[in-house]
Every structure is written in C-alpha cells, then in structure tokens.
Amino acid sequence: MDSSRLFRTSGTAIATAAMLISGCALGSASPRATAAARAYDTGDGRSSGFPGFESFGAGSAEGAEGPESPPAARHDNARTLAPLPAALPPALRRYYAQKLTWHSCGTSGTSGFECATLMAPLDYDHPREADDLKLAVSRKKATGAGHAKRLGSLMVNPGGPGGSAVGYLQHYAGIGYPAAVRAHYDMVAMDPRGVAGSEPVTCLSDTEMDRYTEVDQTPDNATETAELVDAYTKFADGCAARAGKLLGHVSTIEAARDMDVLRAALDDDKLTYVGASYGTFLGATYAGLFPSRVGRLVLDGALDPSLGSEQINRDQTAGFQTAFASFAEDCTRRKDCPLGPSADRAGDRLAEFFAKTDATPLATGKSRKLTESLATTGVISAMYDEAAWGLLRNALKAAFAGDGAPLLKLSDAYYERDRHGSYQNLMYANAAVNCLDLPPAFRSPSEVREAVPAFRKASPVFGTALAWAALTCGYWSVPATGAPHRIPAAGAAPILVVGTTRDPATPYGWARSLASQLSSGRLLTYEGDGHTAYTRGSTCIDKAINTYLLTSTPPPAGQRCSS
C-alpha cells in the first residue's frame, strides 16, 4: 500500500488534541472520544499526515455516494488471496508451541493488565532463530464472575497501520468496551511487527521529522517540487538505514500470520477479533489465510483490498471531501462559523486560507510556524470524528485571526508529536507497511501532475495535497511484496463488516465491496458521520455487534442503524 494511506481509529487522536487545546475533557464528545480523552491525558498525540499523508486510501465518488451507490466492482481483475496449507510446516512448530510468560503491566491510571512477549520469525518462508522478532502482547482477563461464561480471547486492533494495539487496549478497549463483552472475554492486543513495542521501525530524528512535516505539499514550481521529492527520498533512506532487513518483513500478510501464532499461544481454537480501519484489512487477511480458524470477526470501517494505490488514494480524497461537506453544513448554521454563512462557499474560504498560509505561514507563539501542510493536516485530523468539529471551528477562528497555535496542536496530535517535540513511530510504521503492501500510486512528479485534475475533482479542497502525498512510496527502497487482491475466505464462519455512510477515511463503498467479496460477509450499516461505528454512541450498532460477539448471531442481512 502507498504510504499516503492512513487508517486510524477515531477518538484517540482528536481526544488528545482536545486535551492539548482546552486542558479538559471533550464535554459533548461521543462516549468513545471522551473516554479516549481521559485515557490519553498525557499530552501525546496519535497520528500521521503530511507529507505522505498516511492514508490507506481515499473515498472515491463511488465510496462517498453512500448507501445508494452499488457495491464496488473494481476487483474483477484482482487476484485472490488463497488460504495457507492446513498442515503446519515443521520449521514453524516451535513458534506455535510457545507458552507466554505473563507479568503485571500498564500505565498510570490503569490496572489489571498483563504483558508478555511473543516470538515470531522475521521471514516465515525461511525462519531463523537468530532473526526472531519479539512482539509485545497485553491482555486483561475476563471480568465476569462465575455466572459469566468465558468465551476465550478477543483480540483488538485500532488501525493505522502503525497504531499501537497494546496502547489501545490499555487506554481504551480493556476498560471502555461494553461491560458484557469484557465480562466474557479476555481482552487481548498485540502490537504488529514494526509498531510501538514490537521491534518499532524508525526513520528520522525528531528534528528531521519536524522539517518533514513542514515541507510544502502543493509545489508551485520546480524548486518546491524538488524540495518535496528530496523530503520523500530522505524519509525513505532514513527508514532503510535505521530499520534494516525488518523493512522488508512488515507486511500485513506477515502480521496476520503473527496473529495466528498468538491465537495458538493463547490456546484458542479460533480467532475472535475486532479490527477498526486498517485493522479490518488485517482481520480480513487473517480470514483469507486461515478461514477454518475464523471465530467471530468484526471489521469496522472496512477497507477494500482489491483496489490499487492510486484508486485508493483518490477514493479517500473524496471521502474527506464528503466529511468536510458535513462539517461545513454544521458550521455554517452557527453564528460564529469562521467559514461564513454559506456551506457552498465554505470550501472556497478554506482553500483561500490554505493559499495564504502557503505564502505566509502563521505565527504560533513558538519557533515553529503553521505552514500550509501543517494547516491541512490539522483540518483533516478533525474530519475523523464529528466530536472534533467544535475544536476545528475554534482553531480556524484563531487561524483566520492570525494565531496558528490551535490548528498546529491538531496537526501535532495527528502526527503523534507530543508537547516535548518527540514523535512516536506511527508515521514510520505506517509508511513501512503501506509501501510493502502495494506498489506505489505514483513514481514521479510528472505522474502526479497528470493525476491532480482527477484528485481535485474528488476534492477541490484537499485534492492537490493528497495527490502529491501519494508520491511517498515512489522513493521507497524495498520493492512492494503485495498487490491488489480479493479475499473470499471460503468456508469461514460469518464475518461482520461494518460501514459508515459518511466515513472520511474508509468510504462506505469499501465496506460494501469487502462484504461482497467475503463468502460469509454480513454488512452492517451506520448512517452517519465519522470514522468507524462501534462504541461511538449508536445503541443500534453496539447492540448488533455485542450480540454477534456474545452469541455468534450476526445481524439480519441489510440492517441499517441511524442512532
């Protein structure tokens, strides 16, 4: 996948930004976002963005049209992901036979969590003990008393690629998932290879990363184009130098195989799993490789694995335009909307602001200024969850008055830059996984220029920037090992695919497409805004998913929820 594809679970990054900006909880935010704000009251962010806006894709016209658009039919020429042989190769037996050694762990304000280390081969085709990877695992045992029958382990992944599943478990899922689910399941998470606690990929120093995020994402001349290409090249070279041979072994297929090793180490016959955003691609890949080991899989904010990088990026570009239109309609109904009283003109006003910031970056009260790229990232970050729209209104109001600090804080949260100027490894892992999973969308500036009109058609506001962001993997040092593919997972138990009609990051059409590819796919639709649906405040969605997790009964075919 192109490294301009970032899928993230909503709530955590924006809730963190809320804490940074206001110093208090989100107030009227969704239950999930508010819980995440409390959990992430550390000053850290969760994110990635410009340059190489790390998106797994983009919502195309088909994806953004919502429930009336036909299921995506763009996977006709894609290959099919075939299951792995049922017989376990002798060289892998020692991994599947390992026993986890658990110890108490967790962060301030959390309790009841245990951690362990899972060993996995760097290369599944040529496992060597000297190359083994140490993968971070955490769990919180089922909370139910004797009357609550333990149903096994429930593995969770918040997306990214590059989001820490262990962090998500300890800060949210292990304490914030519905009580009935936590009563019956041991809640489990593993940081995928290359991510956070599992042999993290690094690429740049913090100072270098600051410069990288500030580079002009909409080059106007040959000099600015050369500067952007140089930034992408230095980023790629830094990853190659610091990550070494791990850089060629952080694919989604390898991460899915690690999940099966963990399943065995947990002594579970089948995998029960909730994956959000990119986590849906990880879960669907597991189902494709191990269909007979599928238990209850929830894929929320689904990706379409049959699409190529350029289509994916263009799709998500339209998805963010759809989300911005919803924000603009809400904003312009308010007297204090900085975009004016007309929703039709809101995009023009934002584009004018971006252009002015491109020419003259805004002061922030610190040495760093708000460049156009940072401003764009800040705006896009708030598209993931409508609970952040109030933050964005206030940040834009300040920016229009000459103060770029609030919008910079939104951008920093999205990049996972903390208040001390340190970056987590999300951006690096995101690029490493994406660039390995699919060939790049573009390989040269000339290819980007040819594609800009189509991207601008998808989004007049964000199209140019997102088209150039899709060039990131064009300079990657490790050739892609993956390609677009369909995932039928023939023989798997029913798999629940969840799509939100106005999801900015994983457009609804992708959920429809994935559900149609999976032989046992069942589509559940949330009619609303924001990225992903589970635990976002919809009683209908939560009830359907909880029932499926607790009884294996999926919702009726075609079920739709609006509240």
Strand arrangement of the beta sheet that strand 521-529 belongs to: 103-105, 113-120, 133-140, 185-190, 152-157, 271-276, 294-300, 495-502, 521-529, 560-561
Q: Give CA–CA dist 392/400, Å, rounded.
A: 12
Predicted pLDDT at 109: 65
Delineate the domains of the chain, giving CATH numbers in brackets: 80-190+252-306+488-561 (3.40.50.1820), 206-246+309-475 (no CATH)
Model pLDDT for residues 514-534, shown as the tens digit of each residue: 999 999 999 999 999 999 999
**Residue 437: active-site member:** no
Predicted pLDDT at 11: 35
Q: Indicate left, alpha or beta for 46 from its phi (over 0: left) and psi (-120 to 50: alpha).
A: beta
**Residue 75: active-site member:** no
Ranges in the chain, pLDDT < 50: 1-73, 75
Contact call for residues 74 and 312 (beta carbons, < 8 A) = no
Q: Give CA–CA dist 420/418, Å, rounded.
A: 5
Predicted pLDDT at 525: 98
Looking at 249, 411, 531, 542, which residue is catalytic? Answer: 531
Q: What is the pTM of this model?
A: 0.89
SS3 108: coil
DSSP of 286-315, one letter per residue?
HHHH-GGGEEEEEEES---TT--HHHHHHH
Predicted pLDDT at 110: 73
Contact call for residues 89 and 126 (beta carbons, < 8 A) = no
Looking at 258, 268, 503, 529, which residue is catalytic? Answer: 503
Looking at 3, 55, 164, 277, which residue is catalytic? Answer: 277
Model pLDDT for residues 305-348, shown as the tens digit of each residue: 999 999 999 999 999 999 999 999 999 999 999 999 999 999 99
Which long-range contacts does 98-107 make (Cβ < 8 Å, 24+ apart)? Answer: 98/261, 98/265, 99/265, 100/137, 100/265, 100/266, 102/139, 105/138, 106/170, 107/170, 107/171
**Residue 503: active-site member:** yes
